Amino acid sequence: MEFSLIDRIRERTAQGRDDVRLGIGDDAAVVAPPAGQELAIAIDTLVEGVHFPHGTAPADIGWKSLAVNLSDLAAMGASPAWALLALTLPPQSREQLQAFIDGFAEGFAQLAQPHRLALIGGDTTHGALAVSVAVHGFVPPDQALTRAGARVGDVVLVTGTLGDAAAGLQLLQHGARVGEGDGRAAYLIERLNRPTPRLAAGLALRERATACIDVSDGLLADLGHICEASGLGAEIDAPLLPRSSMLLGAFDDVTARDFALAGGDDYELCFTVPPSLVAEVQADLARMGCGATRIGRMVEGYGVRVRDERGQWLEATHRGWDHFA
């Protein structure tokens, strides 16, 4: 059974790359990194009921399990190449397992193929549903983006919009169904289930961003990591937070603001650049379709502070996702 499942995954995710000398089917993969490039490697595990709701479509699980890892590569300014996949599957009938694998592999491949990412190996086992993906990408020497390096006076920007995924999760938890209403729920749930890794933006930020991170645990938490790594503080203006019309149409302004600050799961990039490069970077990212919004600046101090529309400092009651809270 295990080998037939692996064969089904391999058939649906096949991607030819000259740098893959030996892929799925042996005890280990053999790859040939290109000369003059460094490897960026990331791994994430997604557990049902923790990282995606019970009942999520297999294709959406396949997409998201890869997307969250590609987002890590984007935050490092790396281009993707290879992936390893480990699937833990609950006991089911053969037909149920095959249906899940077919859907999962389809969603995984839909994201992998445009980026020429090759699945080169992995493993399957029984247990509570969980997915682990490890991705490998290339970055020129000394050009990887990191969380350290931000300087006082640097401008803080984010790609896309924030808060959509957290809103989608809340709608699901309150019984929303895709296809009902005016399309807002469908849009927000799609943002939760199928985030867009900002790989092109990450490449464009090489040698321009002083620090970068992807927004997985919430803006406050993730920008806080930049602050900690750079030994600085950050000041954010809440009215500047980019929020979609779908989010603002489905929730009041305060709730939408809180989703944007601490919701997480958006997988947008949060980064810092010198003031002299802001217009140039914004123009480049606008041409890529994701845009970049200026939301604050780096300052002396520690941690992230948020100013409301009246210029008053907000007291944050929730600062983002904690895996062990």
Tell me the pLDDT tens digit for each residue of 239-252: 999 999 999 999 99
pLDDT given at position 315: 80
C-alpha to C-alpha distance for 72 and 76, rounded to whole angstroms: 7
29 and 54 in a single domain? The answer is yes
63-72, 275-284, 309-318: which has the minimum mean pLDDT?
309-318
Mean pLDDT of 257-273: 96
Same domain, 49 and 111: yes
Cross-strand pairs, 38: 139
Residue 24 shares a structural domain with residue 104: yes
pTM as predicted: 0.92
- Domain ranges, residue 174: 155-307
Distance separating alpha carbons of residues 27 and 197, to the nearest angstrom: 30
Pair 165, 121 in one domain: no
How many C-beta atoms lie closer than 10 Å to residue 279's C-beta?
A: 10
**CATH code (residue 236):** 3.90.650.10
104 and 168 belong to one structural domain: no
> pLDDT category, 112, cuts 50, 70, 90?
very high
pLDDT in the model for residue 324: 33
Please tell me the predicted confidence (pLDDT) of residue 322. 44
Give the pLDDT band (50/70/90) at residue 175.
Answer: confident
Same domain, 160 and 283: yes
Per the listing, tokens 């281009």 go with: 79
CA distance 52 to 35: 38
> Does a structural domain hold residue 197?
yes
State whether 159 and 295 are in the same domain: yes
Question: Could you tell me if residue 198 is inside a domain?
Answer: yes
CA-CA-CA-CA torsion sign (319, 321, 322, 325): positive
Q: Among residues 57, 119, 56, 53, which one has the least CA distance to residue 86?
A: 119
188-232 per-position pLDDT tens digit:
999 999 999 999 999 999 999 999 999 999 999 999 999 999 999
Count of C-beta atoms within a 10 Å radius of residue 107: 23
Which one of 139, 172, 200 terminates a domain?
A: 139
Q: Are strands 233-237 and 292-299 parallel, antiparallel or unpaired?
A: antiparallel
* Residue that is last in its domain, among 77, 112, 139: 139
Q: Are residues 111 and 194 in the same domain?
A: no
Residue 215 confidence (pLDDT):
97
The whole-number pLDDT of residue 321 equals 43
pLDDT of residue 88: 94
Pair 125, 161 in one domain: no
Q: Are residues 130 and 177 in the same domain?
A: no
Give the pLDDT band (50/70/90) at residue 133: very high
Residue 160 counted as domain residue: yes
In a domain, 146, yes or no: no
Domain annotation covers residue 78? yes
Number of Cβ within 10 Å of residue 73's Cβ equals 27
CATH number for position 35: 3.30.1330.10
Based on the domain organization, do 131 and 164 belong to the same domain?
A: no
Average pLDDT score over the chain: 91
Let me know if 28 is exposed, middle or buried by CB neighbors in 10 A (0-12, 13-18, 19+): exposed
In a domain, 36, yes or no: yes
In sequence order, what DSSP letters do the residues of 71-103 get, joined into one string? HHHHHHT-EEEEEEEEEEE----HHHHHHHHHH
pLDDT tens digits, one per residue of 14-34:
677 888 888 888 889 899 999
In a domain, 258, yes or no: yes
- State the number of CA atoms in the 13 A half-sphere of 76 facing the CB: 22
Q: Tell me whether residue 145 is in a domain.
A: no
If you average pLDDT over residues 302-325, what whole number do you get? 74
As a whole-number percent, the residues of the chain with pLDDT over 70 amount to 91
Report d(CA 193, CA 131) in Å as an integer.
14
Instruction: Verify that 196 and 264 share a domain, yes or no.
Output: yes
Q: How many domains does the chain have?
A: 2
| 301 band by pLDDT with thresholds 50, 70 and 90 | very high
pLDDT computed for residue 79 by the predictor: 97
State both tokens at 257.
Answer: 């603001």
